[in-house]
Every structure is written in C-alpha cells, then in structure tokens.
Structure 1
Amino acid sequence: MTSGFLIKDPRTRAGLRLDAAAGSQERLAFLNDASTRIGSTLDLAQTCREVLDVAVPRCADTGGIMVQERLITEGEFPVRPTDGSALVRRVATAVAVDNPWDWDTAFPVDEVAVYPPFLPQGQAMATARTVLVPRLDESVADEIAKAFGRDVIARSLAGCSFLVAPLLARGNVLGFFVLVRQPCSEPFQDGDVALVEELAARTAICIDNARLYARERRTALTLQSSLLPTGLNAPPGLEVAYRYLPAGDLAGVGGDWFDVIPLAADRTALVVGDVMGHGVRAAATMGQLRTATQTLASLDLDPAELLYRLNRVAQQLDLDQIATCAYARHDRTTGTVEIASAGHLPPMLVQPDGTADILAVTPGPPLGVGTDTFDLATFALPPGGLLALYTDGLVEGREWNIDEGLAKLRGLLTGPPLGIDRICDMIVRAQRPSTDRDDIALLLAKAR
C-alpha cells in the first residue's frame, strides 16, 4: 500500500461486514487481527493506511483518518480545538463503493481543512467524544458541501450513517477517525461505538509512536546537518568534492562527519569519521569530536600524533559511543599525503592514469578505546591523483559485505579521468544500499 487512497471491492461488504449484533468472540477476533496488521512500521501515513485497510469494508463502506497538521509538520501536540479552528490533514481514505472516484474528488488525500464545531468531525475533536449520526440529513450534507465548495460531497453524504471517533493519546486529540455507511447499508448503532473506539485508541497509540519517532529523527538530522560543513573552500593545490546522505531511518542516523581544514605552509587536512551508534546522542558526539579535531588540527600535528591526542580527548569526554576516524594531511609542496587511521576503513588512491588502489594504512584502535599510538603512512599524490575517504555506509549493506563493497568502490574509481563531482554522484548512485540503513559520507580530493 503506497497510496493514501485505498479502493476495496464493494462486493465483499456483505460477507465481511461486522455489524452491531456480532458476538464478543467475533469482535475480539477482529481487534486481534487489527493489532497484528496495524503499526507494522513507525511511519504515520503507513499506519493510517493499515487501519483503514482493516476497517473497510469490515466496519464501514468508506473511512478516513484526519490528523492535526501541527502534529505532522512539527511533531508536537496542538492545543485541543474547541472553536472549530483545528487544522487537520487527511492522511488516508478507503472506500468500498461503486463510485470510488467521486469519494476521491470529495475527500482528497493530503487536503488540509478546518471542520467547524457543528459538523460531527468538529464535535468529536472539540469534545474528545465519539459522535454517532444514524442518518445525515440532506440539509446538513448541503452545508458540508458549501463549506468545502464541492457539490459532490452532498451527493456522496446525504442519507449516510456516520461514526466519528477522536484519536486520543496522552490526553490529547491527535485528530479523528471517521467511518461512513451508505444509505443502502445498515446504519451505525450504539453497539458499534465501543468497537470503533477501541480501534481508534489503538490507532492513536500507533500514530503517537510514529510522531515520537519522526520527531527524534528530525531532531537528529537537524543537529547532524548543523554540525557538518555547509561549504568547503578549495584548499591550495587540491580540488575537493563531497557527498553526505543521511540514513533512511532513525536506526541509521548517526555521527558520520567529514572536514577539509586549511593548515599552514600550503598543507590541508582531510578528515572523515564515523561515530558508532544512532540518533541524537551519536550526532552530538560527532559534533564534539569534529570540534576537537579542528582544534587539534590548528596545531598542524602529523596525523598519527593528532589521532593520539584526539583519542585522549574522546576518553576525557567519557562518551558512551566510540568512533572511527581517518585523518590525512596533504602537502602541496612535496606532493605527498600523510595518513593515519583510528579503526577506520582504508582510503583509496587513484593514480593519474586511472588505476585505483586501497592504501596500506594500518588502522589503530577506534577513538575512545585504549591508549595505543597510531601508525603514520606516507604516499605520493601527484597532479591528477585522487584520494578517496569514506564511511562504511558506502561500502557495507544487506546487498553485499564490506569486502565486496570495497571491491565495487575500487572498480568505480578505476578508469578514465572524470570530473570530481561526477565521480561523487556516480559512486553514490551505484553504492548506496537500497535499504538506506546507514549514513554515507564521501570525500574526494584531487591534486592539481
């Protein structure tokens, strides 16, 4: 289910309909089935689609879920609306009727609207209580159509039976869950209220969980992006390009970082690091380590000495997470690059003739682990040569292991010279796993 508008076969209504006379065992079986099918992900829109897929046509001919706009855009609980001013978004709609596209026109998904207090939807949100309308008068249907400026609404709703349940979580109204039965169907009865309220309660919990997840991921991404460089100036003797792609979910949003730091005497530091762990704490740790790296880089230390001191800083910070880091120092005058690694993946070097190799850099322990010194390796970086630094999200995923990923990256770097930005784009397109479960940082530096 990818669309917010679900069309169900109306011919299945008679066999599936759970009416007010259903026994307790049948209702319990329905709710158990709903529990297994609702909330399979922490995606709010997907959760709403799953709810309606369960409810239509089992409970109604059509249904919709409206969620307060501020909850979607900001992840915050809005004040309970009592004056009809609540701004809500239609997240999903499901229909099992003969004229489905009329309902799509009448109630389009993603529409943001206000429901006045005189409407059942507005009443449910204002009072935080379920509203049952056995049959909607034609005059009220006309008023709704006028309020939204669509005549098709009056044709679709006149004579229908309504059941509108507020979505309540933590004492707050998240929105409402509306079910509609057409004039040809039996109207809702008092016996239906308890069942729909139980379904609405479970829906609200799932929506609230999705809200919390989305807010934490948004916070982590905002923090992470604020701590990364927004633009890198071309250092002496180098052309640089980079790509940073956040993970597709909170479980992968972590602490990948990169930096290009000008040093004295035509030297430049190139840094890529990865904090282990995920979420806001990993992003905050990344910010601390990036700041410490920049401070130590101002001393123009060789990479091995810098990582030794950075490791001591990491231990003094008493961080819960450990991190890996590759630090390179390019010297324009000598045409060389010195590299040291704190548990990080090996850089790759592309020669001017297009031959790519994995550099033999001995990795020391990750930052925050042990007190060992780090080995320093020195390589020539001639004009036209290219150095590639990256994080494990680029070479490791469910589709391939890290050795296969390294081989693929080496193959992509091998070949005729291309523009450095074009190389970045080509690598990310080819190497990013389809699951997007980890951050990706890629930094390329080409000698002029």
Structure 2
Amino acid sequence: MKDFRGRAEARLPSDATVEDRLAFLNDASERIGTTLDLEQTCIEVVDVAVPRLADASGLMVQEGLITDAEFPGHPTDSGALVRRLATATAVTNPDDWDVAFPAGELTVYPPYLPQAQAMATAKTVFFPRLDQAVAEENARAFGRPVIAKVLSGSSFLVTPLRARGIVLGFLVLVRQSSSEPFQETDAALAEELAKRTATCIDNARLFHKERRTALTLQSSLLPAPPHRRPGLEVAHRYLPAGDLAEVGGDWYDVISLPRDRTALVVGDVMGHGVGAAATMGQVRTAALTLAMLDLDPSETLYQLDRVVHRLHPDHIATCAYATYDPATGVLAVASAGHVPPVLMPADGPPVPLPIAPGPPLGVGGGERVRVCETVMKPGATLALYTDGLVETRDRGIDVGIGVLCSLLGGPRRDLEHLCDAITELRRQAGERDDVALLLARAAGA
C-alpha cells in the first residue's frame, strides 16, 4: 500500500479543461507500463490515480492472469476470482484503509456489490455518494466493519479493465465524504485510464506467458543432470543470452556408452531465441541417437553434419564430441568448427587440446574430421564449452581461452565451485551470448 500524505499533487477538478485532462492522460501513459512486471504496472496505476483523481484507489486483477498468464475464458464474469495487486491512499487514516482493503487479498465479489456488477456488465459503476446500506453490504461481505467506516458517505467509482473485449479486473477510485464527489466527466477520465491500464496489463501477461513457454521449452531440451559416470565426475552450466526467452542454440550432453565409456558433447546452433532452441533440440536428439551407435567421434560428426544439412540447410552449428574410456584413460575428441576443449592435467598447467577442427555442421563438406587422442590421468579435468564463454566484444577467442586456462589452473576446487567461478566471470562481463559449459574430471586423485 502506498500512502501519499505529504505528496503535493493537486486534485484534477471535475470541470478541468480538455487540455488539463489530456495532460493527465499523457502523464499516465509515461508513468504506467514502464516495466513488463504485472504488479509494478498496477502500482504505477494507483500512483497516477492518487491523489490526482481520488483519495484512495485499489486495483484488482483476475487470478488466472497472475498465476497462469492466461486470458479469461469469458468476456465478463462477475464471479471471477480476483486479487488486489495494488492500493494507494492520500488520507489521514491510512491504517483503516489498509485493514479494510489489504493488498494481495484474493477474493470473489458477491454479485450484488458494485465491483461484481462492473465485471458482469463491463461498464463503469459509480455512486456520487455511497449510502450507508451499500457501505455495510461491503463490510458484511468481507466480515470487516472498518469497510463501512471508510466508505460511508464517500464518492465511489468502479471501472472495468478491458483488453480485447475481455474484462481483466477493475479499478476502484474513492473520494472521501469531505472531497468533491465524482461527476460524469471523472467517470469518462477513469475509463480512459482503465483502458490504457488494461493494455499494459495484457502486455505484461503476454511477456510472462512467452517467458514461461520459453523456459518450458528450454527445460525440455536440455538434458537432466547426468548420473555419475564410471571413473568420471561431471558438472555443467547453461547461461542464456536473453532475459525474455532464456533459450538459445547452445547445448551439452553426457551419454552412456558400452563398456562403461562416456560421450561428452557440447554444441552451438547459430542464433538465439526460440528458433535456435528448436533447431538445437533436433540436432541434440540426432547427436544422442548417433552416439547410441557407438561410432568414433569423427564418424559421429560426419553423420551429424549430414543430418543437419538435410534438416536445416540454412542453419549451421558447431560441435565438440569426446569419448572417454575409464579403463585406459583414453580421451578421443573431434570438432566440427568448435572452440578447442581445454585439458588440465593433474600435474601441469591447463592447455587447449591441439585439435584440427573440421567445417561446422550443416556445411555438408563430406569430409571426416581428424580425431585427437590423449590420456586423461586421474585428477585431470576436461573443459568443453561454447564460444560465448570466451569471446566478448572487447577480446578475441584466444585471449578468452587464456583467461579460462587461468581459472582452471588456479587452486584445486570441486567441479561445481569451478563451474560457478567460470560462469561468474562471464556474468560480470555482461555479454549477450548463450553459454554452455561442461567439466569432466577423471576419478582417482
């Protein structure tokens, strides 16, 4: 609840000029909808309304919009479950109003109350002076006698919030008995304010719906946390580029192979957002399927290139594919246009693996890439990652890989803490690219 006692904003009179009313609405347009946060938008509305239009204000929104970001199923609904998202007062007894109309209250208004009538008819309901009987009806409906105390003799106005012909909730404006009562001109101004408010609320709803859809998509595409693999400890991170979609084309995977071996995969479909994520899901599924055939890394990437070229001839992707055999310690790695993995031996400094990368996936070159083989001794750590981790606007990939090597070569840490340290550096840089990071450490040290 906002208390505006002491804020020096003059009441807009009922006989205000057209210019004054337009100035008020222009001010409202600038102050409402500054973010795509639904609750903040509602707070901004009552901030505009009090005290310019009213002594007190409250804004109720259908609960389905808040919890599910879904549009109401009916154009009007007097029995809808609504939540009071914001209140504001410019009165001498704000505590009474706070008790009478608590912010956050979830309720259904009885059909005989003005609030329900506004939602049922999609029309403004107002009383130049609210008589004692209506005030007491409100009080009895919620079991709070203080409601009758603050509403008796007040001027009371309820206007529905409509977007796309659907009532999303309503805005309540109240003037105390000592204030000038609402006139028809005030109701018209309140309706225009409610119209602009409803548009902002709908925009916030669409934002949250799209964001939730994107998060659901991402969670379905990225693998679940891998089970501990024989002879191998694994940790991973994914950082999205966008605040809205939170999805992109980067992925990682840890795949069980025959004879207790493990495949480690990191890839990057060019682009960001839902489109890149959808392509990534197909490429990742294809890589997972090919891994089940237990091909060597070169053959796996060769076949994956053919799949990507057929599925998405206009898309390209990079990928690093590695297999690890705990019985021999042999690590075999191949790359299709991907940044080089970094290997940190248990007894030496981290170094990028000397891989000769082939063309990116989707180019369709028809060539098999070379496989780099080395031995991961107990305690050695392998870092697979995407270029968003090491490349920034201010430095090239080689410099970024050097920074990564410095972090890997620092004091020995468990892989989860090491992942956090590496990705935190990227967050601080404020770069806008997806990042996938996969760390694997050979057991035994």
After superposition, where does 1:253-402 map in structure 2 within 5 Å?
A: 253-318=247-312, 321-353=315-347, 355-369=349-363, 371=365, 373=367, 374-391=369-386, 394=389
Q: Look up the match of 1:432.
A: 427
Give the direction of change, closer, same or farther, for the CA distance of 1:113–1:397 in structure 2 (3 Å limit): farther
> Are 1:416 and 2:428 an aligned pair?
no
CA contact (8 A) 2:77 2:119 kept: no
Q: Look up the match of 2:99.
A: 105
Aligned-residue offset at 1:238? 0.7
Aligned-residue offset at 1:327? 1.9
Aligned-residue offset at 1:75? 2.0
Q: Look up the match of 1:32.
A: 26
> Are 1:441 and 2:429 an aligned pair?
no
CA contact (8 A) 1:249 1:437 kept: no
> Are 1:152 and 2:146 an aligned pair?
yes
Amino acid at match of 1:387: L
Q: What CA distance in whole angstroms lies between the structure 2 residues aligned with 1:103 and 1:399?
A: 55
- Give 1:48's match in structure 2, choosing from 42, 48, 54: 42
Aligned-residue offset at 1:431? 4.1
Give the direction of change, closer, same or farther, for the CA distance of 1:417–1:231 in structure 2 (3 Å limit): same
Amino acid at match of 2:279: T
Q: Cα deviation per residue 1:158-190 (whole Å; 9 max; x = unaligned)?
A: 332222221111111111122222223222110
Aligned-residue offset at 1:140? 2.5
Q: Cα deviation per residue 1:359-414 (whole Å; 9 max; x = unaligned)?
A: 44455544334537445433432110111223455556799987776555444333
Q: What CA distance in whole angstroms lies between the structure 2 residues aligned with 1:79 and 1:315?
A: 43
Q: Look up the match of 1:192.
A: 186
Q: Look up the match of 1:7.
A: 3
Aligned-partner SS, 2:8: helix
Moved more, 248-257 or 26-35: 248-257
CA contact (8 A) 1:165 1:200 kept: yes
Amino acid at match of 2:3: I
CA contact (8 A) 2:245 2:274 kept: no
Q: Cα deviation per residue 1:237-283 (whole Å; 9 max; x = unaligned)?
A: 21112234556622442243221111234431111223344444333
CA contact (8 A) 1:45 1:91 kept: yes
Unaligned runs of 5+ in 2: none
**What TM-score do the two structures reach when normalised by structure 2?**
0.87
RMSD: 3.0
CA contact (8 A) 2:158 2:170 kept: yes
Aligned-residue offset at 1:128? 0.7
Aligned-residue offset at 1:429? 4.8
CA contact (8 A) 2:211 2:246 kept: no
Aligned-partner SS, 1:184: coil
CA contact (8 A) 1:354 1:417 kept: no
Aligned-residue offset at 1:121? 1.5
Give the direction of change, closer, same or farther, for the CA distance of 1:366–1:252 in structure 2 (3 Å limit): farther
CA contact (8 A) 1:252 1:438 kept: no
Aligned-residue offset at 1:130? 1.2
Give the direction of change, closer, same or farther, for the CA distance of 1:426–1:27 in structure 2 (3 Å limit): same
Aligned residues, how many?
442
- Give 1:170's match in structure 2, choosing from 150, 161, 164: 164
Q: What CA distance in whole angstroms lies between the structure 2 residues aligned with 1:398 and 1:21?
A: 57
After superposition, where does 1:62-81 map in structure 2 within 5 Å?
A: 62-80=56-74
Q: Look up the match of 1:95.
A: 89
Amino acid at match of 2:284: R
> Are 1:114 and 2:108 an aligned pair?
yes
CA contact (8 A) 1:87 1:112 kept: yes
Moved more, 104-113 or 128-137: 104-113
Q: Look up the match of 1:129.
A: 123
Give the direction of change, closer, same or farther, for the CA distance of 1:151–1:419 in structure 2 (3 Å limit): farther
Q: Cα deviation per residue 1:410-437 (whole Å; 9 max; x = unaligned)?
A: 4433333322233334444554359796
Give the direction of change, closer, same or farther, for the CA distance of 1:115–1:342 in structure 2 (3 Å limit): farther
Aligned-partner SS, 1:432: helix
Aligned-partner SS, 2:25: helix
Give the direction of change, closer, same or farther, for the CA distance of 1:198–1:83 in structure 2 (3 Å limit): closer
**What TM-score do the two structures reach when normalised by structure 1?**
0.87
Q: What CA distance in whole angstroms lies between the structure 1 residues aligned with 2:254 and 2:266?
A: 9
